[in-house]
Amino acid sequence: MVDKMEVTDLTPFMTPTTAIESTHPDVIAFTAKHASGAKDTIETSVRLFYVVRNSIRYDPYAFILSVDGLKASYTLQAGRAWCVPKAILLAACCRSMGIPAKLGYSDVRNHLSTARMRQNMRTDIFHWHGYTSIYLDGRWLKATPAFNIELCRKFNLLPLDFDGRSDALFHAFDADGNRHMEYVNYRGEFADVPIDAMEATFREAFPELWITGKTSLGDGADFDKDVEAEISGTLSDMKS
């Protein structure tokens, strides 16, 4: 659903922050490279969506809830990130081009997972799932750049597309009609990362992480390898 809320001051959504580093040299260079030649802000935002979606690999094991770990420049350097830093990077890229952008969050029930994640999380609810809200032609459009195309193909998911004219949110079902994702709680949209509120939620939801001092849901494991194992296991289960 397109947000047609009247906006009187877009300044907070065009200003760099500690995490949304729209003036960082690496962000500016990355944005300029991939937005070059775009004829308008819509085409610019679409190009930026796809390059963030596909060039930064989705990796929930890269969960780092700290200011430094959420910075757009860090995500560019790492080349992989969970949904929140990817949304931050897209917002930073948009702001660097003068396109207003903010961060949106929801709790979702996600059926894309691995055995390691299920063991560590003990729930299928992903709190503070992040997306980017982009202001185009007087409307706020929701764009979710989390799952790169290779991951979608492996899990038989319909890749999420963005045309700069309508919302791009996760499909409720995969390519075969199986339940994929359900939005269970909307947390709002923000000009900057609400890191204190996020930390409070994660401390309550995953106390073991904070007690043991872990910083990752994957214990330093390789998410791509675990995805391959998950797919192989699923195929084996189907054949048995």
What the chain holds in terms of domains, given with CATH numbers, is 11-239 (3.10.620.30)
As a whole number of Å, the end-to-end CA separation of the chain is: 42
Q: Has this prediction a pTM greater than 0.85?
A: yes
Whether the CB-CB separation of 92 and 20 falls below 8 Å is answered with yes
Residue 22 DSSP label: T
Residue 62 pLDDT: 85
Considering Cα of 143, then 145, then 146, then 152, what sign does the dihedral take?
positive
| CA–CA dist 116, 99 (Å, integer) | 38
Structure tokens at 51: 């390059």
- The average pLDDT across 161-179 equals 84
**Phi, psi for 171 (deg, rounded to 5):** -70, 145
Return all residues near 57 (Cβ < 8 A) that are at least 6 apart. Answer: 79, 80, 81, 148, 150, 151, 224
**Per-residue pLDDT reduced to its tens digit, 7-30:** 569 999 999 999 999 999 999 999
**Phi, psi for 129 (deg, rounded to 5):** -60, 130
Query: 184 vs 85, 143, 200, CA distance in Å?
Result: 21, 18, 19
Amino acid (1-letter code) at residue 83: C
**Per-residue pLDDT reduced to its tens digit, 41-96:** 999 999 999 999 999 999 988 888 889 999 999 999 999 999 999 999 999 999 99
Least confident range from 29-38, 44-53, 207-216: namely: 207-216
Structure tokens at 148: 């790169």
Q: What pLDDT band is residue 218 in, cutting at 50, 70 and 90?
A: low
